[in-house]
Structures are given as C-alpha cells and as structure tokens.
Amino acid sequence: MPQPSALSSATIDQFLAGARACIPVAVSVAAYGMVWGMLARTAGLSLLEVMMMSGLVFAGSAQFVALDLWTATPSSLPVGPLVLAALIVNLRYLLLTATLRPLYPSSNLGRGALSMYLVTDENWAMTVAAMAHGGGSVAFLMGGGVMAWLSWMTTNVTGYGLGSAIDDPSRWGLDFAFTATFLALLLGMWRGKADLLPWLVAALVAIATAGSLEGSWHILAGGLTGSFAGAILEVRKHADQS
C-alpha cells in the first residue's frame, strides 16, 4: 500500500514544481490579462461575458482576436468569423501538444485530451524545457496551467474594473506585455547555434506569410516550416554520427 502514497506525493511535488516554474511568466500573463480586461470593457462586454469567455476559452491570442470582431448587438455578432478566427489562431496547438505525447500513456489518451484545456504557450514551454533535461510530467504541466489560469482570470476581472480609468492601454505600453512574454519564452528555449537555422526559417516564412495572407496563418506556416527544418537537421546529425 505505500506505493500509491509515494506516487501521490511525487505527483503533488511535480504539480507544485510546475506552478513555481510558471510564477515568472504568470506575472507577464497578468500584465496582458489586465490589458484584455480593459479592452473587453471598451468593446462592450459585460463582466459575466468576460468571466465566461476567459473561463471557457482560456486562449489569450484568440480572445484578443475576438475583441476585434466583437459587436455590442447580439444579432449582428459575426459568430462564423469569430469561430474561424479563433480556430486559425489556435491551430498552433496541434504542433505544441504533439510534442507532449511522450508524457501520456496510450491507455490515458482520453484523459490527456481533456487536460489540453490547461495547456498554454507558457506552461508548454516550461514543460518542454523540463523534458529536455530529463524531467517534465503531466502534473508539472497541469501545475503551470493552473497558475496561468488563475493569473489570467483574476487579472481579466481586475482589468475590467480598471477599464473605466484607463481608456487606452497602449499609452502606458501595456499592449507590449503579450509580445514581451513570448520573447522571454523564446530566449529561454535557446539551446545554441543548432537552433539558429530552424528559428530563422520559421521567422522568414512567418513574415512572408503575414504579408501575403490575412489572418494568423503565418503562425502555423512559420511553426511548420521551422519544425520541418529542425527535423531535417536532426536526421542529418544522427546520420553523420552513425
């Protein structure tokens, strides 16, 4: 009987480790979470709508896109474009969550699919970094996800409350918080010169796609081509070693 207890203790430790690891990025999430709350109030959302969207969708980039299409009148709300825009923006999670497959046994794929709700760019990056050093677990991933969720929800509501006092977040530089968070995550995942080519390919393709296609297809195009370039380099590296 001591075995389940030890396993439970290890799971709790991993969960808390994931939550602690995501504290720095939770601060950044808080910054642009407040911005989203302010913008949501400006767009005409009620506090209940803000809480429901953030609690059920929990996807910052998609929620920012949704505000651009939001209308105060329900009858004129472009539901189709809203859903399509959110789908396009979040297509990158097909790539992100695929890298987490080694953490999930085949017998628990259904439960694993449900846990994808708590996957964000931030706790995904922290978990992948831990996996690269021989660590990482589902509990670690969930700990970071819960930390990000709490930060996002509380600051959305706080930002909504401050929305009447700060009419233009960009005047205070708060709109850059979203970009700053991703730059910090990117630098944290740098492994050396071997990453230079895939990153460069991803950046160039994303820039080219953004200039030729509307929407957020550049995110998916850059991610796919960068991953493909990295995979080719890994194959050539292993071929040379053998």
| Range 27-49 burial, b when 16+ CB lie within 10 A, else e | ebbbbbbbbbbbbbbbbebeeee
Helix, strand counts (H, E) of the chain: 12, 0
The rounded average pLDDT for each run of 10 residues, N- to C-terminus, in the chain (242 residues) is 59 92 86 86 88 90 78 68 74 83 80 86 88 88 94 93 70 63 62 78 88 73 79 72 60
Supply the pLDDT for residue 35.
84
Is the distance from CB of 177 to CB of 190 less than 8 angstroms? no
Q: Taking the complete model, does pTM exceed 0.85, yes or no?
A: no
Q: How far apart are CA 19 and CA 33, in angstroms?
A: 18
